[in-house]
Amino acid sequence: MKKYFILLFLAGMTIRLDAQNTSRKFISVAVLNTHTDLPFSKFAGMFYKAFHPGIEFSYGKNFKVKPRHDWYYDFRLAYFYHRFVQHGVPVYSNLGYRYKFKSPFSLTAEAGAGYLHSIPATAKLRLNDNGDYVNDKGIGRVQVNVCFGIGAGYIVRPSSPASLKLFINYQQRLQLPFVRSYVPLLPYNSFLIGLAKPVYRKSK
């Protein structure tokens, strides 16, 4: 399991892509809601029930930038809380494609993989040698995180290259192995809304 995770994580984190001179780095932050279900299943319920909140930060770079499309890759750190199940801390990389309309709107498709640290949300009781029950949930478990998503973006001030961009994203995340004996793969639906901002290096 550890060898599988290490290979998958390194494959995502060591993406080497030749960026053009028009590339731009960016940072983003998003809030999210997530729940366990099959892709696109009970999607509407994410807005009025099954509230499991989280937050995600990313740092990335655009490359192969063209007037109507570009590619991007980023590195992400997130946290989410699934009531009665776990606290999840994904750390992963993402590769995506963006199609830009003539208007300030754009559409994206992306996929990524990496690490997820799972910490039980409830006590895990164990009977010790003294006959007492103790909490044995420890510091969490190593998990693999695989995800893919689609989204849309809107540039707030199209005339400014440093403008903020508002985005929404639907993401399907697969966590494995969750419980080897009966739930080896745990699917999560996530809906994110956030802001992204270009980052420019100051000229000397």
Q: What is the pLDDT of residues 2-20, one digit of tens each?
A: 554 444 444 444 433 333 3
pLDDT at 60: 96
pLDDT band at 137 (very low <50, low <70, confident <90, very high): low
Q: Name the most confidently modeled range: 70-79, 135-144, 182-191.
A: 70-79
- Specify the pLDDT at position 112: 96
Q: Which CATH code for domain 2-15+22-199?
A: 2.40.160.20
Token couple for 5: 């995770």
Name the band, by pLDDT with cuts 50, 70 and 90, for residue 22: very low
Domain segments of the chain as ranges:
2-15+22-199
pLDDT of 36 reads 83
Residue 133, pLDDT > 70, answer no
Burial letters for 29-64: b for 16+ Cβ neighbours within 10 Å, e otherwise?
ebebbbbbbeeeeeeeebeeebebebebebebbbbe
What does each C-alpha distance from 145 to 99, 163, 172, 203 come to in angstroms? 26, 31, 10, 38
- At 75-126, the pLDDT tens digits run 999 999 988 888 999 999 999 999 999 889 999 999 999 999 998 877 666 6
